[in-house]
Amino acid sequence: MFWYGHDVSGWGWFAMSAGMVVFWALIITVGVLLFRAVNRPDEHIRTPAAPQTPEQVLAERFARGEIDDEEYRRRLNVLRTGPLTKP
């Protein structure tokens, strides 16, 4: 098989070994990237959020500190009892 001095030198063995490592690294990288692309949730499709009730919006404003305790309770009372109308 290796007659007449056509054998692979030390650099040839190194090149084959390095080539094999690079080849398998590329195969594994492509496999991982393909797996991640197929299994990730679709980021572009968004389901619309359920509409918030007025009480939830008021509670969020109170939690953020936009309104104080007195105003929160007053507005919550108005929401639950209905608007005050003058006869």
What is the DSSP track for 21-58?
HHHHHHHHHHHHHHHHHHHSPPSS--PPPPPPPHHHHH
Distances (CA, A) of 75 to 30, 51, 53, 54, 66: 58, 19, 14, 10, 13
> How sure is the predictor about 2, in pLDDT bands with cuts at 50, 70 and 90?
low
| Amino acid residing at 12 | G
Domain boundaries, the chain: 52-87
pLDDT tens for 23-44 read 999 999 999 999 988 887 776 6
pLDDT tens for 55-65 read 999 999 999 99
Average pLDDT of span 47-68: 89
Q: Over the chain, what is the mean pLDDT?
A: 84
